[in-house]
Amino acid sequence: MRAPYGLNILDNCMNCPHRGEHLFCNLAIPAGQRLNEIKSTAVYPKGAMLFIEGQLPRGVFVLCTGRVKLSTTSREGKTIITKISEPGDLLGLNAVISNCPYEVTAEMMEPGQANFIPRDSLLQFLKEFPDASVRVAQQLSRNYFIAYEEVRTLGLAASPSEKFAKLLLTWSTKAPQADGSTQVRLTLTHEEIGEIIGTTRETVSRLFSEFRKRELVQIKGATLVIRSRPALEKIIQS
C-alpha cells in the first residue's frame, strides 16, 4: 500500500521483507500472527516524536522503515544522542518492561513507518509466547552492553579525536570495499555527530578537516568514505 512520503506501508508483519532479520520480525508463525493482531501501524514525518524522555511508558514501537534518533538532555540543555535506530529495532523496551519513564526521546530523522504495541498487550503477549520473552531478555542485555560501551566512549576516551575515530570505526563495519574503505551515507549534521560523541559542532567540523588532511576520510557529496580502519585503530591505541 502506498503512503505519504513515497513509502510502502508494511501492514502485515507476516509478509514483511525484513521478517527474518530482527527481534520481533522472525518469530514463529503463531507468535507472528498474534503480534500482527495487537500492533497498530502508522507513518510518521521527519521530526515526529514517538515518545519523550520522562513520559510514562505507554508501549513500544517496532521501527519498520526510516531511522530514529534516541537522545537524552541534561537540565542545562545539553543533548547527547545515545543511538541511531535502524529498521527492525524495538524502541522503548527498557521503560515498558521496567514500568519506568522513557529514558530517552525518540525522534524520526526521516519519514518512516513504526508499529505501536501497547504495554498491556505486549506483557500479555510475552506471557503467551515464552520464546518471545527470551528474545526480549536478550535484547535488554544487549541494550545494557551498548549503554556500557557508550559510557566507555564518552568517559574514558582521551580526546575528541579518539571519540571521533571510534565513531568512524563503528560506521566502517558496514559493507567494506575491496580496497578496505567503507562508504557511508552521511545524513547526520555536525551538531548531531557532536551530540553522539559529546563535543561541539565546531569541534566536529575541525575533526573532519583534520581527518581529511590526514587522508583518513573523504567526503563526496552526501557520501563519507572511511579510507582505513587500521589508521583509525592506531589513533585509539595511541
Domains of the chain with CATH codes? 4-156 (2.60.120.10), 160-237 (1.10.10.10)
67-79 pLDDT, tens digit each: 999 999 988 888 8
pTM check: above 0.75: yes
Task: Judge whether residue 155 has pLDDT over 80.
Answer: no
* β pairing state of 59-63 and 112-118: antiparallel
Average pLDDT, the chain: 86
Closest listed residue to residue 51, CA positions, set 132, 106, 99 = 106
Cell of 78: 545539553
Closest listed residue to residue 19, CA positions, set 37, 42, 36 = 36
d(CA 68, CA 105): 10
179-230 pLDDT, tens digit each: 678 888 888 899 999 998 888 999 999 999 999 999 999 988 888 999 888 8
d(CA 216, CA 203): 17
